[in-house]
């Protein structure tokens, strides 16, 4: 049963057709064309598909597309303002906090959700907040440094 889902994605009102058993991850990638949302495990363990749904960080592989009717979805594509990168993105580049890059969109969204609720996190808080995101290139340390640097810069801004 295909149904039209009306929602708001990265500030834009968007409608997409969706099957009842289709995940938000598949809908975002295949119906809306937002390929920044990555599928790692598909079981909520790796966090590569992380998006922010009505202000809450979720794995889009564990959300049905139909659930987002009338909701607000934020993906990595909404981070930058045109050509101007978000501070998190700049800091990830400066700190070389990525290797293959497949986990990066998920880490960016998880870090964004963390800093919104906690602008001055300790290293331990950062590591706990990012525990739902796996990096197969094992680059965690640089990711933590990038998030710390972002927090500092955003607090000073």
For residue 1, state whether it binds other proteins (rule: CB under 8 A).
yes
Q: Which of residues 65-94 bind other proteins (CB under 8 A)?
A: 66-67, 69
**C-beta of 96 vs 122, nearer to other proteins:** 122
Instruction: Out of 8, 14, 42, 85, name the contact with other proteins by CB under 8 A.
Output: 42
Q: Does 57 bind other proteins (CB under 8 A)?
A: yes
**Strands lying side by side in the sheet with 72-74:** 12-19, 2-9, 72-74, 50-53, 56-59
* Residue 16 to residue 18: CA distance in whole angstroms: 6
Contact between 138 and other proteins by CB under 8 A: the answer reads no
- Residue from 9, 61, 73, 144 in contact with other proteins (CB under 8 A): 61
96 or 128: CB nearest other proteins? 128
Residue 84 vs 124, nearer CB to other proteins: 124
Strands 72-74 and 2-9: parallel
**54-63: long-range contacts at Cβ-Cβ below 8 A with a sequence spacing of 24 or more?**
55/116, 56/113, 57/109, 57/110, 57/113, 59/25, 59/132, 60/23, 60/24, 60/25, 60/28, 61/23, 61/24, 61/25, 62/23, 63/23, 63/24, 63/25
Compare residues 1 and 83 and give the one whose CB is closer to other proteins. 1
Residues that bind other proteins (CB under 8 A): 1, 3, 19-21, 23, 42-45, 47, 50, 53, 56-59, 61-64, 66-67, 69, 110, 113-114, 128-129, 131-133
């Amino acid at each position: 049963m295909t149904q039209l889902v009306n929602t708001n994605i990265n500030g834009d009102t968007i409608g997409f057709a969706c099957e009842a058993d289709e995940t938000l991850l598949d809908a975002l990638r295949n119906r809306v064309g937002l390929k920044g949302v990555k599928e790692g495990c598909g079981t909520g363990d790796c966090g590569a598909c992380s998006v922010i749904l009505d202000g809450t960080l979720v794995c889009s592989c564990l959300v049905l597309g139909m659930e987002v009717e009338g909701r607000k979805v934020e993906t990595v594509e909404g981070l930058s303002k045109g050509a101007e990168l978000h501070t998190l993105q700049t800091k990830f580049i400066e700190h070389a906090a990525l290797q293959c890059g497949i986990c990066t969109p998920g880490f960016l969204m998880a870090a964004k959700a963390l800093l919104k609720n906690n602008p001055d996190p300790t290293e331990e808080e950062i590591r706990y907040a990012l525990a739902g995101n796996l990096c197969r290139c094992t680059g965690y340390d640089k990711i933590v440094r990038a998030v710390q640097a972002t927090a500092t810069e955003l607090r000073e801004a």
